[in-house]
Structure 1
Amino acid sequence: MSAAALVSIALLGTLVGLVVPLMSRRFATADAGSWAFAPPQPFRGPWVAPMVAASVFVGLAGAAADDPALPVFLAVGAVGLVLARVDLACLRLPDPLVLVAGLLALGGLTVAAVLSDAPGRLLGALGGAAVAGTAHVLLAVLPGSRLGFGDVKLATVLGLPLGWLGRDALLAGILLPHVLQGVLVLGLLAARKVHRDTALPLGPALLTGAWLAALLT
């Protein structure tokens, strides 16, 4: 992908990032100052969301520049940014947002498969959703599990683009979020920022893990 195209995608991501806080407020039930997992104050400025969104978009564009499903990845990423912010605010992944992400992924990948004459990749996407959903259902029903079914639904949706990218991306996208979450929890426990029974959002880790899987595979 050319430098000009990457700059354009970065600008698009920046614009999306400007909208993310506004959209997240419509779905978050907690007050703006009472985040479930409160980030340090320097990371809550108005410039953070645009920078994060631009990074997400540029990363996806660099990793999937020649993939016909790149617009789908960007659309799902945009909704994912809102979901992550809502989950951080109130430990909730609203069903309407997850449904929008799922419809964008399924509809967009179907169109991409038809236009690129790649029905096998669409089957891979559907299989990825089934595998990711089943794996997280099993995790959710384990004794003592704190995995919510909002997390299960999001993991299922993310299985669509991950399955489109292939088996390696799918496996990485299933495993990486839990590795990231485990490292985060251990760090917070060591710093005495949380207790063992403190509820923490998993949605941001699911989304970050899926993004990293797309970049690394």
Structure 2
Amino acid sequence: MITLSYGLLGVAAGPLVVLTAFSIARHEPVHWSLTGWPPSTASLAASMFLGSSLTYVALVVPRSAEMLAWLLIVGTVLALVDSACHLLPHRVVGLLFLGGLALIGAQALVRREFEPLLRAGVSSIAVFAAGFLLYQRFTAELGFGDVTLATALALYLGWFGWASVFLGLTVGLLAASFVMRMLLIAKRVGRHDPVALGPALLGGAVYVMLQA
């Protein structure tokens, strides 16, 4: 029953996710005309993706399903926006972080396990500090939105352990590097063209959390 509930949540969230992403990317007020009716292909694809993903999460990691569901829903908004216009809005990343902090805090209280909560907080602070230094050094290659997203993801990964923090971010960066190489080979982008890092970071983090 819980698995079905998560699946239905994902299906229902699909059109809202696409609507929000389109609104941000186009700098237009939220309105259903952005996606059209009947639902656009993008909305149907988002519903299928989130429905199946949340169902899988509920089956594989039921004890952490709430935080991963939040990560997938808000993360999909960020991935769509970043892919469309190379932007990771701070208000959406902040929503991802604060929602994760609330859910992780609730998990810690229910389980009476406060060490993972502390580790999650320290992880996010450490990643932000390291990311900010890299941003100062490689401003042309690394956006500040990428730093804040990595910080939010470190919070989630930190709940699962230090190894998950390292692996989650590393897998994301390797995936981004691979995609960049493929696009260069296909001559879809130039060597100095911007490439969205957000989707790869999100995908790497979710993959590692599902294996933890």
TM range (shorter): 0.7 to 0.9
Q: Does 1:89 align with 2:84?
A: yes
2:60 aligns with 63
Letter in 1 for 2:178: V
**1: CA distance, partners of 2:154 / 2:53:** 18
**2: CA distance, partners of 1:192 / 1:102:** 36
Cα RMSD (Å)? 1.9
Q: Which runs of 5+ in 1 are unaligned?
A: 32-43
Q: Does 1:27 align with 2:24?
A: yes
Q: Does 1:165 align with 2:160?
A: yes
2:34 aligns with none
Matching of residues 36-185 of structure 1 within 5 Å? 45-65=42-62, 67=63, 69-143=64-138, 145-185=140-180
Could you tell me the percent identity over the aligned residues? Answer: 31
Moved more, 132-141 or 158-167: 132-141
TM-score, normalised on structure 1?
A: 0.84
Would you say the 8 A contact 1:59–1:215 is kept in 2?
Answer: no
Query: How much does 1:168 deviate?
Result: 2.0
Query: How much does 1:196 deviate?
Result: 0.6
Would you say the 8 A contact 2:14–2:48 is kept in 1?
Answer: yes
Query: SS at the partner of 1:101?
Result: helix
**2: CA distance, partners of 1:133 / 1:78:** 23
Letter in 2 for 1:47: L
Letter in 1 for 2:179: L
**2: CA distance, partners of 1:140 / 1:11:** 39
Would you say the 8 A contact 2:18–2:42 is kept in 1?
Answer: no
**1: CA distance, partners of 2:26 / 2:15:** 20
Letter in 1 for 2:55: V
**2: CA distance, partners of 1:60 / 1:209:** 15
Would you say the 8 A contact 2:116–2:159 is kept in 1?
Answer: yes
Q: Does 1:7 align with 2:4?
A: yes
Letter in 1 for 2:4: V
Larger helix percent: 2
Q: Which runs of 5+ in 2 are unaligned?
A: 29-40
**2: CA distance, partners of 1:205 / 1:113:** 28
The alignment covers a number of residue pairs equal to 200
Would you say the 8 A contact 1:106–1:160 is kept in 2?
Answer: yes
Query: SS at the partner of 2:137?
Result: coil
Letter in 2 for 1:117: R
Letter in 1 for 2:23: R
